[in-house]
Amino acid sequence: MTLSAFAYQLLEIILGVITAPVLLGWVNQCRAWLQNRSAPSLWQPYRSLHKLFYKQAVLAENASPLFRVAPYVVFGTMVLVVAIVPSLETRLPFTVAADAIALVGLLATARVFLSLAAMDIGAAFGTLGARREMMIGFLAEPALLMVLFVAAMISQTTSLPLIAERLSSESLALYPSLAFTAVAFAMVLLAENARIPIDNPATHLELTMIHEATLLEYSARHLALMEWAASLKLYNYVCIGITLFLPFGVATQSQGTTGLALAIVALALKLLVAGSSLALFETVSAKLRIFRAPEFLATAFLLAVLGMLVHLLLGA
Amino acid sequence: MTKWLSRAVPVRGSPGTGELVVNSTSWIDVAHDVSSGGGQLASLWTTSGDESGNHANVRAVFLINASVLIVTLPIVDDSLSYRGLETLFPSAVRMQRAAFDLTGIRSDAPDQRPWLRHAAWPAHWHPLKFPAMRSEIAAKSIDNYEFVRVEGDGVHEIPVGPVHAGIIEPGHFRFSIVGEKVLRLEERLGYVHKGIEHRFTELHLFEAHRLAARICGDSAVAFSWAYCQAAEGLTNVRVPQRGLYLRALALELERLQNHLGDLGALGNDAGFAFGLAQFSRIKEHLLRVINGALGQRYLFDWIVPGGTARDIDAASSNDLIAFAHEVASEVRHLRQIYEEHSGLRDRFSGAGRVEVQLASQLGLTGLAGRASGQSLDLRVDRPWPPYDQLAVTKCVRQEGDVAARVALRFDEVQETCVLIAKILRELPWGPVRVETPLPNVPGFAVGLIEGWRGPVLIALQNGGEGKISRCHAHDPSWHNWPVLEHAIIDNIVPDFPLINKSFNLAYSGHDL
């Protein structure tokens, strides 16, 4: 590990943390365009964060220390995930420190803290939201693991940077098994990030909320951290998707600064495409009834299993 | 049934209305006969007695097929109580509770909890009985409203509102649920009680139509027409044909605005924001065309005693006809999208179903009623001028779920667009308004109009010299709110906003 590796790592983290709200702004902008509305600015999420950071935080009287700590834990976990996912370069100090399974564990940690904090106040909506969040989580996790296993079997490793290197080094090798798992992963991404058709990020109806309901009791800087963490989660999922299915353009250690610059451009393009596809999908879909969510995620799991079978049987 | 109708004395205002003054035994007999004859309770209210010797009374309005029967029970003794009608007409419960809060005249129903009275005034004070003491009454009492509790393993309550996460009107909903399944919903309303019925008594007879228009913003035309129908009935004024046609135009435009808004909002509540964007666009376009043609976006104060406030010129009339065609074809296109969208279809169909039999038992009325096979539409069944010349086609559905209420709105949008064009093409020439002389004797009149939500009623008691001694305004939401409590049973909690939206009931017009 050289000093430059640490500098690159730092750059990757800062870039991720800064880009995440912009990605959300881009998705919202595309959604607005697709609905024939005039779009909010790309920087709108930053304006909201700015507003929230300058407000006075209000806590419920019976809030425990957990409630105050949770935003920092959730945000910290998401920043750590940014460091682990090799979005720019493959051989960085953090990216090699944890493999895909540890990553799923980290995401689960964030969810646990989010849900515990939601139940902490004892208000009905928080509990309702936490319950739904856990339901979605325990259905989505196996599907996500399955997706990661397929990629791991193809590359013979569970380490994300090695998967990325392996897949990007082969010139345009097409894996049918990865096609199945890519669809499965997209479904998991929608469910995990509280997007339509599982949850509606734009809703004001407290009875239908999943993710938003867990945040109802938060205000000011705590809420800002939670919102930022949510946008980081979306960014992370998109980056994981890119690492698994479109790693082309990611820099390896040998490529130096030029490689890194190219990787940044490639990542920006991929995020643009991913964000607009997400907006398109959300615009043409309606929200599912909550009890259809198990079917939705079971389909994702099934597709991931199919991907694995295709790989095992056809070796492709 | 016919024996009561034949004994009724004609009442002014809404054509074909009769009043029957009864004693306490025939009060129940009439209600019984109406109930067994398939009639519905349209409204119930009480009036306090006064110094000039008028007795306190309780009035019920029944709709029997096409006829309207007002039954008045004078309360001659000091008991200030009467037999409740809740066993025959379930929707009477809340009206009786509200009537007690306002006038202190009590029914004998088992449910005696306050309805309109929250913590704002003490239990012994009744705003319509001692209005003079209004300023001396301060908010003192503590509100311990007893919700019905559901006991059982794993049952818990979710209190929702009156302050909501979005900007909507205040209402409290108490859900008892197991997991996501709703076992029981209990509503508590009355948070927007403003004392409108008292305010009427401070206004001049020919001024109060402005207040009537503001009872419920989305039914401004319906309420102001109902008011003017009653006020004109007191004076025997004949509104000119052109005025009547322009009133009908306004009523249909109001229906169209509300249906367009609701269809968009229903799509949005199912997570389909495209629908909201499209319907909002059409609605805004409509409001601008209305503004161009009639000089105002929403038609408050368009209807005035004696006719309408303004006339419409030929060019604007042609604009409106052309635009009605445009709306009809655009909505037809959007309907296709809604109906072919598998996600929306899945959310709409089967949600919040009110079976035909339940709807008739509970007295579901208006738009929601027609989606559950209750085929009453006053424009068709009991047409008042000019609807007797317009030959409206009635839209009815049997399924009673959210999908049916959506489909019914789509049907009515088409019908309303046809009607708007028809009204404008057949618009008679002549004045739009006549002078209205003051009635010289006290009298009683009712106005009854089919608003977009259902039958809207105004009962007006004139005290002489242009004074209003009592004015009761009734919104169809009184009947439909209790049915919503049944519609949600066995559905899941996240479907409630959608089901609620498909009814889209009034808060302001209901709480008065």
Name the token pair of A123: 């208000």
Host domain of residue A55: 3-314
CA distance B512 to B505: 14
- Indicate whether B137 pLDDT > 70: no
Which residues of chain A lie closer than 8 angstroms to B495, CB-CB? Answer: 289
The per-residue pLDDT for A296 is 93
- Predicted confidence band of residue B38 (pLDDT cuts 50, 70, 90): confident
- Predicted confidence band of residue A98 (pLDDT cuts 50, 70, 90): confident
- Site from B274, B341, B484 to mutate, A interface, most A CB atoms within 10 angstroms: B274
- Indicate whether B165 pLDDT > 90: no
Which residues of chain B lie closer than 8 angstroms to A211, CB-CB? Answer: none
- Predicted confidence band of residue A100 (pLDDT cuts 50, 70, 90): confident
CA–CA min distance B169, chain A (Å):
13
- Site from A218, A287, A288, A291 to mutate, B interface, most B CB atoms within 10 angstroms: A287
Same fold? B2-118, B196-511: no
- Indicate whether A254 pLDDT > 90: no
Question: Which residue in chain B is spatially nearest to A213 when comparing CA positions?
Answer: B165
- Predicted confidence band of residue B49 (pLDDT cuts 50, 70, 90): confident
Comparing A166-170, B286-290, B500-504, which segment has the lowest mean pLDDT? A166-170
- Indicate whether B331 pLDDT > 60: yes
Angle at B347 between CA B400 and CA A199, to 5 degrees: 145
Question: Which residue in chain A is spatially nearest to B496 when comparing CA positions?
Answer: A207
Angle at B243 between CA B241 and CA B249, to 5 degrees: 105
More confident residue, B143 or A186: A186
> Residues of chain B with pLDDT > 90: what percent?
46
CA distance A230 to A126: 17
Give the residue among B41, B97, B99 at the shortest CA–CA distance from B71: B41
Adjacent-strand bridge partners of B10: B18
Residues present in chain A in total: 316
In tens, the pLDDT along A194-226 reads 888 888 888 777 888 888 888 888 999 999 999
Residues of chain B that touch chain A, judged by Cβ-Cβ distance less than 8 Å = 156-160, 164-167, 180, 267, 269-274, 276-278, 281, 341, 343-344, 346-347, 492-497
Which residues of chain A lie closer than 8 angstroms to B167, CB-CB? Answer: 204
CA distance B354 to B332: 26
Of A128, A208, A286, the CB nearest to B343: A286
The per-residue pLDDT for A253 is 67
* Structural contact between residues A41 and A24, judged by C-beta atoms closer than 8 angstroms: no
* Structural contact between residues B402 and B498, judged by C-beta atoms closer than 8 angstroms: yes
The per-residue pLDDT for A1 is 56
The per-residue pLDDT for B136 is 65
CA distance B215 to B196: 8
Domain count along chain A: 1
- Indicate whether B162 pLDDT > 70: yes
- Indicate whether A113 pLDDT > 90: yes
The per-residue pLDDT for B221 is 94
CA–CA min distance A197, chain B (Å):
8
- Indicate whether B141 pLDDT > 80: no
* Structural contact between residues B213 and B224, judged by C-beta atoms closer than 8 angstroms: yes
Residue found by looking up tokens 């199912």 in the block: B270
Contact A216 B165 (CB under 8 A): yes
- Indicate whether B247 pLDDT > 90: yes
The per-residue pLDDT for A54 is 94
Domain spans, chain B? 2-118, 196-511
Residue found by looking up tokens 């920006």 in the block: A268
Mean pLDDT, rounded, of chain A: 88
Contact A124 B272 (CB under 8 A): no
Is the CATH code 3.30.460.80 the one for domain B2-118?
Answer: yes
- Predicted confidence band of residue B138 (pLDDT cuts 50, 70, 90): low
Give the residue among B54, B4, B32 at the shortest CA–CA distance from B442: B54
**pTM value surpassing 0.95:** no
Which residues of chain A lie closer than 8 angstroms to B339, CB-CB? Answer: none
More confident residue, B163 or B133: B163
CATH for B196-511 is: 1.10.645.10
Contact A196 B271 (CB under 8 A): yes
Mean pLDDT of B140-158: 82
Contact A286 B272 (CB under 8 A): yes
- Please spell the DSSP secondary structure of B334-359, one letter per residue: HHHHHHH-HHHHHHHTTTT---HHHH
Q: Which residues of B331-346 are buried (b: 16+ CB within 10 A; e: fewer)?
A: beebbeebeebebbbb
Which residues of chain A lie closer than 8 angstroms to B494, CB-CB? Answer: 207-208, 289-290
Give B132-136's long-range contacts (Cβ < 8 A, gap of 24+): B134/B198
Comparing A80-89, B26-35, B45-54, B211-220, which segment has the lowest mean pLDDT? B45-54
Which residues of chain A lie closer than 8 angstroms to B334, CB-CB? Answer: none
Q: Which residues of A236-265 are buried (b: 16+ CB within 10 A; e: fewer)?
A: bbbbbbbbbbbbebbbbbeeeeebbeebbe
Of A128, A205, A285, the CB nearest to B343: A285
Name the token pair of A54: 């300058």
Which residues of chain A lie closer than 8 angstroms to B276, CB-CB? Answer: 35
Strand bridging mode B443-450 / B12-13: parallel
* DSSP H helices in B270-349: 273-294, 314-340, 342-348
Name the token pair of B99: 């009537």
- Indicate whether B66 pLDDT > 80: no
- Indicate whether B229 pLDDT > 60: yes
CA–CA min distance A292, chain B (Å):
10
In tens, the pLDDT along A18-29 reads 999 999 999 999
- Asked, as a colleague might, if the bond just before A197 is cis with ω within 30 of 0, I would say yes
- Indicate whether B227 pLDDT > 80: yes
**Neighbouring C-beta atoms of residue A180, cutoff 10 Å:** 22
Strand bridging mode B81-82 / B106-107: parallel
- Site from B156, B180, B330 to mutate, A interface, most A CB atoms within 10 angstroms: B180
Of B159, B270, B495, the CB nearest to A286: B270
